[in-house]
Homo-oligomer: A and B are copies of this chain.
Amino acid sequence: MDKNGKISPAVIRRLPKYYRYLGELIKLGITKTSSRELSEMTGFSASQIRQDLNNFGGFGQQGFGYEVEHLRVEIAKILGLDKKYKLIIIGAGNIGQAIANYTGFYEADYEIVGLFDKNPKMIGLSIRNSEIRDIDELEGFLNKEHVDIAVICTPKNVSQQIAEKVVSCGIKAIWNFAPKDLNMPEGVYVENVHLNESLFSLTYYYNNLNNKE
């Protein structure tokens, strides 16, 4: 936690990993764990894990460790996974369709309530019972329906314009897959998935591995 009482982004990035590993422990029938065991699973140090969890009050007892199920429920609450979220996907190309079809989200309560595209060949088709609508209906839709998160899967030349439109309709959370950073007002949170950058990092390390040989 910093001096303003804000949790550092690095901690927030680790919480979903703890959540995932705790889920795996539950599947294995394990009910108790320790920061040392979590350290072996996650690769983060035991003291790092204790420090991260202490930001939210601890949840463990010295010498007794953590109740797996309880800790997972608490982390879910911190992340907000105990609530429901309505998502729309803008851009029903490959990435948009992959997101619409992705089954990994169904652990938590995310519902895709709308898909939008500008390609007339796509409009009217359905993905998982959700019809692809004309992008021109986006504003009307947002003015009528409650939506929590907009997923932007458009080409990068229109992503800023689309983001501004959804924000003008009250959207405050954007999951951005377009390979361009969005310039957004205060009070809007953007989470970027830049696949290119991920592949470029991998390329660097691949070359570095080779250089060592």
Q: Which of B13, B99, B181, B194 contacts A201 (CB 8 A)?
A: B13
A9 to B: closest C-beta gap in Å: 8
Closest to A148 in B: B206
Number of copies: 2
Q: Flag if A206 contacts B102 (CB, 8 Å).
A: no
Q: A residues bordering B, Cβ < 8 Å?
A: 12-13, 15-17, 19-20, 24, 42-43, 78-81, 83, 85, 93-95, 97-99, 101-102, 104-105, 107-108, 110, 148-149, 172-173, 175, 179-181, 187-189, 191, 193-210
Q: Flag if A196 contacts B16 (CB, 8 Å).
A: yes
Q: Flag if B209 contacts A187 (CB, 8 Å).
A: yes
Candidate in A20, A95, A101, A206 with the most chain B CB atoms within 10 angstroms: A206
Q: Flag if A16 contacts B200 (CB, 8 Å).
A: yes
Answer whether A202 and B191 are a contact pair too, CB < 8 Å, given A20-B179, A104-B179.
yes
Candidate in A79, A110, A209 with the most chain B CB atoms within 10 angstroms: A79
